[in-house]
Structure 1
Amino acid sequence: MVQKRLLLFLVTILHIFYENWVPTPSCDVVPGVSNQEIHQGKVEDDLKVMMVADLLLSGHESRSGYLDLHFKDFYFSRFFRKSFEFLKPDMLIVLGDVSAKGSELSRSKWASVLQEFHSLLGPFLDLPYHVVPGDRDIGECSQLNDISVNKITRSFPGLDSAGCGAFDIGNVNFFSLNSVALLCGDNDLRFSVEKALEREHIELQTGSGNDSAGIKIPQYDFSWRENAMSSGSGPVLLLHFPLHQIAENNWRSGSLQDKAEPSKRSQFRDGSYGLSQTLPPNATEYIFHALRPRMVFSAHTQTFSDHTHPDGIREIVVPAMSWDAGKKPAFVAVTFRRNGTSAIVSHCKLAGRSHVLLFYISLLFVLVLTVQTTLRS
Structure 2
Amino acid sequence: MRTWRLVRVVTLLLLAVSYCEFFHYYMVLLLCTWPSVSSVQGFQSHPLRAMFIGDTHILGSNAHWFDKLRREWMMTRSFQASMLIHSPDVVFVLGDLMDYGTESSSTEFEYHVQRFKRMFSTPFTTRTEIIVGNHDIGFHHMINDKRYERFKEAFSAPSVRLISVKDVIFVMVNSMALHGDGCSFCKEAEDALKNIKWQLKCSKGKLDQEKVAEICEKLDIMNYSRPILLQHFPLYRTSDSNCSTPDAAPLEEIDIPFRIKTDCLSKESTDLLFELLNPRLVVSAHTHHGCYRLHDNGIPEYTVASYNWRNKHNPTFFLAELTDQDFIINRCSLPDEHTVFTLYAIFAILLVIVIIIPPKKQKPNLGKSFTPSNKDH
TM over 0.5: yes
Cα contact 1:95–1:134 (8 A) shared by 2? yes
Cα contact 2:95–2:232 (8 A) shared by 1? yes
Change (3 A) 1:364 1:29: closer
Q: Which runs of 5+ in 2 are unaligned?
A: 206-214, 239-258, 362-377
State which of 230, 246, 265 in structure 2 corresponds to 1:238: 230
1:55 aligned partner? 56
State which of 24, 32, 36 in structure 2 corresponds to 1:21: 24
How is 1:149-188 mapped onto 2 (pairs within 5 angstroms)? 149-157=148-156, 159-160=157-158, 163-183=159-179, 185-188=181-184
Residue-by-residue CA offset, 1:139-188 (whole Å, 9 max, x unaligned) = 1222223322112110113x33xx22111111211110111111252321
Cα contact 2:30–2:85 (8 A) shared by 1? no
Three-state SS of the structure 2 residue aligned to 1:279 is coil
Cα contact 2:53–2:93 (8 A) shared by 1? yes
CA distance in 1, matches of 2:329, 2:122: 22
- CA positional deviation for 1:299: 0.8
Decide which moves more: 133-142 or 188-197: 133-142
Cα contact 2:51–2:319 (8 A) shared by 1? yes
If you compute each CA radius of gyration, which structure gives the higher value, 1 or 2?
A: 2
CA distance in 1, matches of 2:193, 2:261: 25
How is 1:1-377 mapped onto 2 (pairs within 5 angstroms)? 14=16, 17-18=19-20, 19-22=22-25, 24-25=28-29, 44-59=45-60, 61-65=61-65, 67-124=66-123, 127-157=126-156, 159-160=157-158, 163-183=159-179, 185-207=181-203, 212=216, 214=218, 233-245=225-237, 276-337=262-323, 340-360=324-344, 362-363=346-347
Residue-by-residue CA offset, 1:321-365 (whole Å, 9 max, x unaligned) = 11221432211111114xx22211111112233333444455566
- CA positional deviation for 1:313: 1.4
Three-state SS of the structure 2 residue aligned to 1:324 is coil
Q: Which amino acid aligns with 1:21?
A: H
Change (3 A) 1:45 1:305: same
Decide which moves more: 72-81 or 293-302: 72-81
Three-state SS of the structure 1 residue aligned to 2:185 is helix
CA distance in 1, matches of 2:126, 2:306: 21
CA distance in 1, matches of 2:218, 2:37: 45
CA distance in 1, matches of 2:320, 2:37: 16
Three-state SS of the structure 1 residue aligned to 2:310 is helix
- CA positional deviation for 1:17: 3.7
Three-state SS of the structure 2 residue aligned to 1:189 is helix
CA distance in 1, matches of 2:285, 2:318: 11
- CA positional deviation for 1:88: 1.8
Cα contact 1:118–1:125 (8 A) shared by 2? no
CA distance in 2, matches of 1:213, 1:77: 45
Identical-pair percentage: 23
Residue-by-residue CA offset, 1:42-75 (whole Å, 9 max, x unaligned) = 974211111110011124x33412x224312222
Residue-by-residue CA offset, 1:297-324 (whole Å, 9 max, x unaligned) = 1111111111122222111111111122
Cα contact 1:303–1:317 (8 A) shared by 2? yes
CA distance in 1, matches of 2:120, 2:353: 36
Cα contact 1:93–1:130 (8 A) shared by 2? yes
Q: Which amino acid aligns with 1:45?
A: H
Q: Which runs of 5+ in 1 are unaligned?
A: 216-231, 247-272
Q: Which amino acid aligns with 1:178?
A: N
Decide which moves more: 176-185 or 16-25: 16-25
CA distance in 2, matches of 1:49, 1:310: 26
Change (3 A) 1:308 1:77: same
Residue-by-residue CA offset, 1:233-267 (whole Å, 9 max, x unaligned) = 52111111111249xxxxxxxxxxxxxxxxxxxxx
Decide which moves more: 314-323 or 69-78: 69-78
Normalised TM-score (structure 1): 0.73
Change (3 A) 1:365 1:76: farther
Change (3 A) 1:365 1:177: same
Change (3 A) 1:361 1:214: same
Q: Which amino acid aligns with 1:293?
A: P
Q: Which amino acid aligns with 1:55?
A: T
Cα contact 2:172–2:231 (8 A) shared by 1? yes
Cα contact 2:236–2:265 (8 A) shared by 1? yes
Normalised TM-score (structure 2): 0.73
CA distance in 2, matches of 1:376, 1:112: 55
- CA positional deviation for 1:367: 5.9
CA distance in 2, matches of 1:329, 1:124: 23
Cα contact 1:7–1:369 (8 A) shared by 2? no
